[in-house]
Structure 1
C-alpha cells in the first residue's frame, strides 16, 4: 500500500495461486494483490452473484422467503454439486438460498434463476447488469452456476467487490454464509469453506472448483471490528485454497487496522459562505469514514479540510463544499468530499450586493 519506507511492514505473502486480493470491507482499501485483474473462470464463486440477486429481490419485496418455487426438469437434471431438489416439487426461497450458499447447488441456482427471470439466459443478463452497476469491469456471466463457458469469467478484484457489496448491503442474509451444514430432502451436506472450522473469526463466503478454474475461495473474517475480505483463485486443492486464504487474512489482521476516523454528519468545520442569511454553514461527511492504515499509525495521521473559497448561498444539506484529505507521512490515505450539513438561505438584497463587491475586489468573482 505504499508505506514500506515509513512503517516497518513485511511484504505480503506470496501464494500458490493464479491470482488473489485482500481488501478491507469498511474502507475498501486494497491491502495486497497479485494478478487481481486477470480474467479467470470463477467456478462456483459465480453463485455469490446468484444469491446476491435473490437477496436483492427479497429486499425489494418482489419475493419472500416463504415463497414456493416449482422445480423444472432442467433444474433437476443439472450436473455437478447439487441440493437434490426433485422435478415438479415446490421448494421455498429460503431453502433455495441455503442450497445455493451452503450446498453450492447447481440445481438450486437454476431454480432461482428461472423463478426470478424466467430463464437462465435472462437471469445471466441481470447478473451482468448488476455487475456493471457494482463496478465489476472485468466480469461476464453466462450462467447462474459457474459451469465452464469460454465467455464466463471474472477476476479476484471483481469478486472482492461483489463480496463487499453482499456483506454491506444485506447483512440480514449474510449469516447464512457462516452456517456449516444444511439438510434438505434428508440429505445433509457441509459447507465447503473449511475456514469456518479452523478460524472462529471467519464467517463466509463461498468456495468454487472446476478443472478449468482450480480451487477458489472468497473468504471474510472479523477481528476487533475490522472486517477483511480475501479472494484466492486457481489453487491446486481444497487444502491449498484454505491455507493460502488463511495466510492473506492473517497478514492483514497482523499488520493493519481500520479505525473509524469520523462519523456520518459529525461537525467537522464551518465553511465561509457569501451572500447568505448567515456567513457560515456546518460541514461534514454523509457516511462514516474508515481508513486502513499500518497498525499503530493512527496517531500519525493528519487531516486537512480544503473548502471551496467562493461558496455562495443558497446551500442545501448534501451540497458538496470541499474535500477532506487524510494523509500519513505525506502520503494521501483517504480523500473524501465534504458536504453542507444544514440549509442556508440567500441573504437580503443589500447583503448580496455588498458581498458581490467584496468578492469582485478580492478576485473571487471573474
Structure 2
C-alpha cells in the first residue's frame, strides 16, 4: 500500500493555488494573539496562540467561572456575605499596588458585589475572598481552578493563584483563553451581562471597566483585560454582529494605548477580514480512489460533513487541497467506510484534514477475475 493523491473533482473551481509558506497576510504587534469564530470554535488567526503565557488578570475569567458554577450548584448565592480576611485585604488591597475593589479588612461583602468587583473592577481582593470561601485557601482554590480547566479541555492552563499576579508556572495559552471565554458565553448567559457593565461603585468609590472596546466597537460585550510588568498589556474580548460572534485574545502589548488600538484593529479585522469558507457540503463527491481486486476499478469519495476552513479573505486563492489515501484500496469496500482524507494546506503552513468516505459498495472479484487481475498486474509491472 502506498500513499496516493487523487484528483479533486470540483474543488479546484473554488481554490487551488500552491500553498507554499509565505509571510502572513495579517500581523499584530502583540506577542501572542488569537481570533476565534465562536460558533465553530475555529481559530481564524493565531500568533503563538498555542504557547502558554502569563495571563495576568485574564486569569480572572477562570476565577469568575468557579463562582458561576458554585452559584448554579447552590453552594453559593448572590446574597451570601463572605468575610474579608487580613490576607485578602493586605495582598489584594490598595496597599499592594494592584487592582482592588477597596474592601475593608474584617468586613463582609455580598457575592453579587464581589462578582462585579472581579469582572468590572478586576479586584484582586475580591478574588482572594471568593478563593478562600470556595477553596479554604487561595492555594487550594488555584488547584481547583486548574483541575476544572483541564476538565474543560484547557490543556495549557496551570493556575497558582486566583488573581493572575505573577507566579512561576501560572500560565495558559491564548487559544485556551478564547475557549474559556466561549464556554462562559455559551454556558453562563445569565452572568455574561456583567462583562459589559461599564462601571461599578463600591465603598463610595466608582471604577470604570478597563475593556477598551466597550462603547467603541459595535457589538462588543466582554470580557477581561490584563496587565503585569512580565506579561504586558492583554485582553480577552468578544463581540457579536448580525448573528456572528468573534472572540479575540492577545497579550504582550506595551501600553494601555497600544492595547486599545490593537484591540480595535483585531476585532474589526475579525469581522471584516476573516471568514469561515464553506468549501464542500456534507455528502459532496470530491474525487475517486483506485480499488484493487474489486468489481469496479474506482470508488467515489465523498465528504462525511461540511468542509469549512477558517481563513483570511486574501488566502482563499492561495491554498491547496488534495485527496490522500493509502492505496490502491483492497476490495471489498463498503459504502460509508472512511478510506481517505481531504488535506487543505494554507499559505502560512497550517493544514486541516477532513475524512472522506466511500460513496458506494465495491464487491471483491471472483476467483477467476482475481487471477486475471493478478496476471495483468504482473505483466504490466
TM-score w.r.t. the length of structure 2 is 0.68
Superposed, 1:66-85 pairs within 5 Å as 66-77=79-90, 78=92, 79=96, 80-85=98-103
Cα 1:330–1:234 shift into 2, 3 Å? closer
The aligned counterpart of 1:42 is 55
Residues 256/213 of structure 1: CA separation in 2 closer, same or farther (3 Å cut): closer
Does the C-alpha gap of structure 1 residues 290 and 203 become closer, same or farther in structure 2, counting only changes over 3 Å?
farther
Which residue does 2:143 correspond to in 1?
125
Structure 2 counterpart SS, 1:38: coil
Q: 1:108 aligns with which of 114, 122, 126?
A: 126
- RMSD over aligned Cα, in angstroms? 4.0
* SS of match in other structure, 2:172: coil
1:13 Cα deviation (Å)? Answer: 2.7
Correspondent of 1:28 among 41, 50, 73: 41
Shift of 1:37: 2.3
After superposition, the C-alpha distances for 1:293-336 in whole angstroms (9 at most, x for unaligned) are: 777x9xxxxxxxxxxx989xxxxxxxxx999x998999997969
The offset of 1:289, in angstroms, is 11
* 2:239 corresponding residue in structure 1: 221
Tell me if the contact between 1:326 and 1:333 (Cα under 8 Å) persists in the aligned partners: no
Greater RCO, 1 or 2 (C-alpha within 8 Å, sep 6+):
2
Which segments of 5 or more consecutive residues in structure 2 lack a partner in the other structure? 1-14, 284-303, 317-332, 356-362, 367-381
Partner SS for 1:193:
coil
Alignment equivalent of 2:167, drawn from 149, 162, 166: 149
- Aligned pairs, how many? 305
Contact 1:13–1:248 (8 Å) recurs in 2: no
Q: Which residues of 2 match residues 253-264 of structure 1 at below 5 A? A: 253-257=271-275
Kindly provide the CA deviation profile for residues 136-163 of structure 1, in whole angstroms up to 9, marking residues without a partner as x.
Answer: 2222110000111122112211211111
Give CA-to-partner distance per residue, 1:225-274, whole Å, 9 cap, x none.
1111111111001111121122222222113445999xxxxxx9xxxxxx
1:178 aligns with 2:191: no
Q: Is the 8 A contact 2:44 2:275 kept in 1?
A: no
Report runs of 4+ in structure 1 exceeding 2 Å deviation: 3-7, 10-13, 255-261, 288-295, 325-336, 360-363
The whole-number CA distance in structure 2 between the counterparts of 1:4 and 1:213 is 40
Structure 1: 5+ residue runs without aligned partners? 262-267, 269-283, 298-308, 312-320, 337-359
